[in-house]
Chains A and B, each alone.
Chain A
Amino acid sequence: MDLENQKRVKELSETHGAENVVVILGAAEGEASGIAAETVTAGDPTFAGPLTGVSLGLKVYHICEEEIKAEVDAGVYDEQVGMMEMVLNLDEIAAEMQSIRSQYTKF
């Protein structure tokens, strides 16, 4: 994850409390989703950014996951994201996200 984005996530968790922050990803495939999710939960796996060794344990989802779709307006979702469902590998993304959450999310 971009270093500046890591810095912002860290600061926002401190400001609002990690239990109140939810990260929503839009990554293009499973592995990248997993790495971004790991960064905001267990810490930066690439050892490059401000979240290196910082385990925020944030709640993190991909925008295309069923849990998110169940909560948002279906019309807006279809307009903004719908087409990407034909492009992205949703099962792979969901499996990665699930795996990271079950290991590292604290909330």
Chain B
Amino acid sequence: MNSVIKSVAYTLTHAPDLVIHAGTTQTTERIVNPESEYLVALPKALRKYEDAVNYPPNQTYIGGMTPADLEKISMPWYENGTKSDRFGKFGEITPQEELYLVMQICDCFDLVMLEASFAAGAAKQIESHPLFTDEIKARIKPGTEIAVIENEVKENGAEGLYHDNKLVGCVKKAHSIDENLSAHVILENLVSKSTSVISMMNLVKNSGINIASVDCVIDCSEEAVGDMNQRGGGNLAKASAEIVGFTGATGFDVRGFCAAPVHAIITAASLVKSGTYKNVIVTAGGSTAKLGMNGKDHVKKGLPVLEDVLGGFAVLISENDGINPEILSEYVGRHVVGSGSSPQAVITALVTNPLDAMGIKITDVDKFSPEMHNPDVTKPAGAGDVPESNYKMIGALAVKRGELDRTELPNFVTKHGMVGFAPTQGHIPSGIPYLGFGREDILEGKITRTMIVGKGSLFLGRMTNLFDGASFVVEKNSGTTDTGSISEEQVRSLIAESLRDFAKSLGGE
């Protein structure tokens, strides 16, 4: 039996000060051009937390509105936000203060120091948060005097943690000479871990799963965890699972640039289908390096710095329950060594090869989710509208194959695609952001089939010139399980239950 997409969570974390201090565009600029106009203009171009919450693409990512709702809002979206809630049906938008506290919670080596009054304020903030269990809160450590933190930053190579441009804490280096354990790397890894933890906390709520029944966690972010003897040694997955309290879970990491999440889901689906595990979570936290990646273009054009959030997600893949949408493990798309790197070779490998194996046409896939980069971010930066380009490529291939009339191409983009709404956090946009909506659309009978496509730029690591990518199809459940079929009545009651939960979450409970 195929495994199913049981539940999904998406979170964002607003991190404006990390844009300045940890985003590589900014850290590079400070080295090559320390007096630049950009660095002077940057702080004023950063958005407040409320603006990030009200920003329509962010609301879409956490499930506060659908991609169809977003499409109705005219661009630029940063000018057309409306008052919105921190919580959506899939997750939440965490403020920076809480992130720093979660980093301290996730720190198992006394490397994170927070100034006492800041730490107390953040701790108070999460007191009313419904998802922080007593076990998680018990990890909060007392704050430190600011003078000690200042000294760590000035004298001992610690990375400062800033809030509203004020030093409120630091991340210390974890080794005196090993650059893999430098303060910078530890900060990057702790942020990834923390945002993965926040996503999995939301997944526990969304799925209602008993935390003891999670068998395995797979982390598919882009960070390398390790020391000088094993750079990238890994298992951030297990480290994050420990904090959430998955005591019965093992874990491992899957890496593959922006394609890693799709590789990870394929892996998880097979592990469950084979019977090795019953419940596997695929998770990823966000990337500090990519904060403000296109900030120079945004500031130059008078836009706010839109890349001010860290992305995160968590997906629960479970045994077939006869209800939730199935992952078709036998028909995955893959870009292989010999596929070639031309755009048509890539799309053929990822899209049409698996569809040919299934004996269906491109137009038989109701929705494609290739790379859901937010065009509000990418267009002013000269990277175009990435999802739209992908839809055009898929449509163009359908034309070449005679499955679509050329004049139908614009319609294809609208009908089988959607607008991009994910932050440009590399692995985050790559296919996965639609999985939550896709699951619901299938459960509600709006669509029967979606294809999730991830692509990865392997050449950035300078080990190969190869491109990479993988895809999988998610389909309406056939309705049969190992123990028999499920009645329509049961399906209806499940849908009603999920709608009630959603209504509750809108009510702010």
- Report A's interface with B, CB cutoff 8 A: 3, 27-29, 31-32, 35, 46-49, 79-84, 86-87
CB distance from B160 to the nearest CB of A (A): 24
Tell me if A87 and B347 are in contact (CB < 8 A).
no
B136 close to A (CB within 8 Å): no
30 interchain pairs, CB-CB under 8 A: A3-B28, A3-B32, A27-B382, A28-B382, A29-B382, A29-B383, A32-B383, A32-B384, A35-B382, A46-B296, A47-B36, A48-B28, A48-B32, A48-B33, A49-B32, A79-B342, A79-B344, A81-B342, A82-B344, A83-B344, A83-B347, A83-B393, A83-B396, A83-B397, A86-B392, A86-B395, A86-B399, A87-B389, A87-B392, A87-B393
Chain A residue with Cβ nearest B382: A32
Residue of B29, B347, B389, B396 near A28 (CB, 8 A) is B389
Known contacts: A28-B383, A28-B389. The answer to whether A86 contacts B396 by CB under 8 A is: yes
Give 10 closest A-B pairs by Cβ, nearest first.
A32-B382, A86-B396, A83-B344, A80-B342, A87-B392, A28-B384, A31-B382, A29-B384, A83-B396, A87-B389
Docked complex Cα distance between A84 and B382 (Å): 17
Q: Interface 1/0s, chain B 26-42, versus A by CB < 8 A?
A: 00110011001000000
A83-B398 Cα distance, complex, nearest whole Å: 11
Answer yes or no: B400 CB below 8 A from chain A CBs.
yes
Determine whether B491 belongs to the interface, using a CB cutoff of 8 Å to chain A.
Answer: no
Interface residues of B in 328-352 (CB under 8 A from A): 342-344, 347
| CB neighbors of A among B424-482 (8 A) | none
Q: How far is the CA of A57 from the CA of B307 in the complex (A)?
A: 34
Q: How far is the CB of A63 from chain B (nearest CB, A)?
A: 11
Interface residues of B in 30-89 (CB under 8 A from A): 32-33, 36
Q: B373-403: which have CB < 8 Å to A?
A: 382-384, 389, 392-393, 395-397, 399-400
**A80 / chain B contacts, CB cutoff of 8 Å:** 342
Tell whether B167 is near chain A: CB-to-CB under 8 Å.
Answer: no
Q: List B contacts of A47 (CB < 8 A).
A: 33, 36
Among A31, A79, A81, the most chain B Cβ lie within 10 Å of the Cβ of A31
* Chain B, Cβ-Cβ closest to A46: B296
The distance from the CB of B398 to the nearest CB of chain A, in whole angstroms, is 11
Would you give the 0/1 interface string for B489-506, flagging 1 where the beta carbon is closer than 8 Å to chain A? 000000000000000000
Q: Once bound together, how far apart are the Cα atoms of A3 and B33, in whole Å?
A: 13
- Give chain A residues whose Cβ lies under 8 Å from the Cβ of B395: 86
Q: How far is the CB of A45 from chain B (nearest CB, A)?
A: 10
B126 at the A interface (CB under 8 A): no
Residues of the A chain whose Cβ atoms lie less than 8 Å from the Cβ of B29: 48
Judge if B409 is at the interface, Cβ distance under 8 Å.
yes
Chain A residues near B399: list those with CB within 8 A. 86
Complex Cα gap A28–B393 (Å): 13
- B389 to chain A: which residues have CB within 8 Å? 28, 87
Complex Cα distance A28/B383, Å?
6
Q: Chain A nearest CB: distance from B352 CB in Å? A: 12
Residues of A within 8 A of B393 (CB): 83-84, 86-87
| Smallest CB separation, A90 vs chain B (Å) | 13
Please give me the residue from chain A that is nearest to B383 by CB atom: A28
> Within 8 Å CB of B33, what residues of A?
47-48
Residues of A within 8 A of B344 (CB): 79, 82-83
A83 to nearest B CB, angstroms?
4
A32 to B505, CA, bound (A): 42
Query: B29 to chain A: closest CB distance in Å?
Result: 7
Chain A residue nearest in CB terms to B344: A83
Which residue from chain B places its CB closest to the CB of A87 in the assembled complex?
B392
CB distance from B444 to the nearest CB of A (A): 32
Which residues of chain B have C-beta atoms less than 8 A from A46's C-beta?
Answer: 296
A29–B397 Cα distance when bound, in Å, is: 20
A80 to B382, CA, bound (A): 23
Minimum distance in angstroms from B86 CB to a CB of chain A:
34
Shortest distance from the beta carbon of A105 to any chain B beta carbon, whole Å? 21
Report the nearest B residue to A30, measured CB to CB: B382
Q: How far is the CA of A104 from the CA of B399 in the complex (A)?
A: 39
- What residues on B are CB-neighbors of A87 within 8 Å? 343, 389, 392-393, 396
Chain A residue at minimum C-beta to C-beta distance from B29: A48
CA distance A81 to B384 in the complex (A): 17
Residues of B within 8 A of A83 (CB): 342-344, 347, 393, 396-397, 400
| 258-304 of chain B: CB within 8 A of chain A | 296
Name the residue of chain B whose CB is nearest to the CB of A4: B462
- 17 extra A-B contacts, CB within 8 A, seeds A83-B400, A84-B393: A28-B382, A29-B384, A31-B382, A35-B382, A46-B296, A47-B33, A48-B32, A49-B32, A80-B342, A83-B343, A83-B344, A83-B347, A84-B343, A86-B392, A86-B393, A86-B399, A87-B396
Residue of A nearest to B386 (CB): A28
> How distant is A10 from chain B, measured CB to nearest CB, in Å?
15
Please measure, in the bound complex, the distance between the C-alpha atom of A87 and the C-alpha atom of B343, giving whole angstroms.
10
Q: Is the CB of B342 within 8 A of A86?
A: no
- Name A32's closest neighbour in chain B (CB-CB): B382
Task: Output the nearest chain A residue to B36 by Cβ-Cβ distance.
Answer: A47
